[in-house]
Structure 1
């Protein structure tokens, strides 16, 4: 897959690459945050049509979620988000999304830096650019997609444009999945009750119609697809990992660098790999999880890879996927703690939120300075404060056993 990173000029214009003078393109457009089952259905259709027509399979992907950019602008008198502002609500990083697009057979990924000037262009102008520069012969979208200034480019309007101009075709994919749900306007993490260990149920499932209406009114709830990034984000914020993974079609994950922590875990027989706070991907609500840890290699290796191909290198993607594969020698079951270490925080005075995977393996793992992937398979229990080290060690042993039982099929 060839990757181009594109930044609009001050007026919002993008210098689109000329892919070919002869070969046409089948194109899809979106943020693809999470790359859930709906996104995957659209991308599979792009690749299928491209192969049938000897065209390029092209994904135009936005870097920075439009919701984040517009939300920041609304709260800051129209200003753009600072370049170093981390989007903590993003389910997946650009690298994670590109890795999946590459694996699915996309030929060209065009990563567009999304900003307000770019967003102000009409959908007609935007699609005209894709036809003229990319050679777009077919546009593939999900059934409720919108684009352009004011999101006026819905499926009906885009179909009318395709019919009137005759220069491209619109192919609509039924990516709605199993219906719709409601999510709060603001998604804040809420841990399950401390006295109820195990995978929590989706709180919306147990509500009758009256309760759901009251909940929706209190939370300014709005309707979204079950197969949507917003729904995945809500489920993870409640610890409903298995339900979130069902929407994604794979285990949700974060990726980051292993750094030195307090090193208390190794002194009690449960050494953990402490991740930096600026991980890639959405961090679920505080608690203890079962899952996997994958060693993706030294950070220096990633930096070398990313010096190519617009900041991303598909050879690095191949290596990542090989390490992530079931049965890989770089993949281990892991009990994962997310939280502020309440058992020791009063003693240390440190209350930083950390991610600490404990690999359930007899081997000693030296992962400092390595980039790792932490995948979540299920929720074990909320964070609690233990009476002391002995009680904590007994709990950690139990978490390790539960993790092995939950991940054995992998």
Structure 2
């Protein structure tokens, strides 16, 4: 799959273009991209995707803060798996934000060789989000490209959306997040040095620093796994503020991997979350904490072996 960060100088060969942010590439997104693949096959062209980086909300409303489900790299990997030919990863700037819907079509979509556009029912584009699926249909008729608008995908009465998955993760509902994503949620980041208290207790941990815009699930202990040095390694993850040792501490993400003693410092790793085991809590001393950690490890190993 090709990833381009600028528009082509010359008009590209014909293509179907899927538009959206695709945060998480959940089952709703997959349905949209699969529909795009079907249209591309029907028309004898490739499927391309156009997304903006950073997320438009970060530029338009920097004070709000955003909580993304996936890194850009994760989104690209999932799109490649689905069969996308090219991803245009274009910079989102104030100038781009002020582009009218008509200019968006004429200056961006048409030079990309669009013959068909695929969008979700709630897609908006152009300055102030004035463009909607109805307008892109009208512009498609004017400029000679087809448009598919996919309606909301529903599972057990719940709309499959990035916001629904964010809510599930913030509530610690891993089972719901899994069902809406179509796979296990994950958390990526760089392994950094911590207090090394876990090592002193016999439970060495990899302290993970996620990108600032990435969503961190509800505080607590989770059963997880990661692919390390070509092998699937099981473990347990704590998201919390170390209440046993600190009265006030920032939220940290630390993972104790079972049967692994390699050096992970400064490496980017992705941890896959399978189940939430319990809430974070403050213990009355080291012995009580060690007893609970032993119990957590047994529960996590038992659960993960059942899955893997």
Q: TM-score, normalised by structure 2?
A: 0.91
- C-alpha separation between the residues in 1 aligned to 2:287 and 2:169? 30
Match of 1:332 in 2: 233
SS at match of 2:184: coil
Number of equivalences: 307
- C-alpha separation between the residues in 2 aligned to 1:370 and 1:389? 30
Q: Summarize the Cα distance change of 1:229–1:135 in structure 2 as closer, same or farther, 3 Å threshold.
A: same
SS at match of 2:111: helix
Asked if 1 retains the 8 angstrom alpha-carbon contact of 2:242 and 2:249, the reply is yes
Q: Summarize the Cα distance change of 1:54–1:19 in structure 2 as closer, same or farther, 3 Å threshold.
A: farther
User: How far has the Cα of 1:382 moved from its partner?
Assistant: 1.3
User: How far has the Cα of 1:88 moved from its partner?
Assistant: 4.9
Q: Summarize the Cα distance change of 1:19–1:46 in structure 2 as closer, same or farther, 3 Å threshold.
A: farther
Among candidates 247, 255, 261, match of residue 357 of structure 1: 255
Among candidates 44, 49, 65, match of residue 55 of structure 2: 65
User: How far has the Cα of 1:51 moved from its partner?
Assistant: 3.1
Unaligned 5+ runs, structure 2: none
Match of 1:135 in 2: 113
- C-alpha separation between the residues in 2 aligned to 1:179 and 1:260? 43
Among candidates 113, 123, 130, match of residue 152 of structure 1: 130
Asked if 2 retains the 8 angstrom alpha-carbon contact of 1:236 and 1:244, the reply is yes
Q: Summarize the Cα distance change of 1:357–1:280 in structure 2 as closer, same or farther, 3 Å threshold.
A: farther
Unaligned 5+ runs, structure 1: 7-14, 76-80, 82-86, 182-225, 298-328
Match of 1:2 in 2: 2
Match of 1:253 in 2: 186
Asked if 2 retains the 8 angstrom alpha-carbon contact of 1:286 and 1:382, the reply is yes
Q: Summarize the Cα distance change of 1:280–1:290 in structure 2 as closer, same or farther, 3 Å threshold.
A: farther
Among candidates 38, 53, 57, match of residue 48 of structure 1: 38
User: How far has the Cα of 1:40 moved from its partner?
Assistant: 1.2
- C-alpha separation between the residues in 1 aligned to 2:189 and 2:107? 37
Q: CA RMSD in A?
A: 2.3
Match of 1:100 in 2: 78
User: How far has the Cα of 1:280 moved from its partner?
Assistant: 7.0
User: How far has the Cα of 1:16 moved from its partner?
Assistant: 4.2
- C-alpha separation between the residues in 2 aligned to 1:338 and 1:90? 17
Match of 1:276 in 2: 209
User: How far has the Cα of 1:135 moved from its partner?
Assistant: 0.7
Q: Summarize the Cα distance change of 1:71–1:88 in structure 2 as closer, same or farther, 3 Å threshold.
A: closer
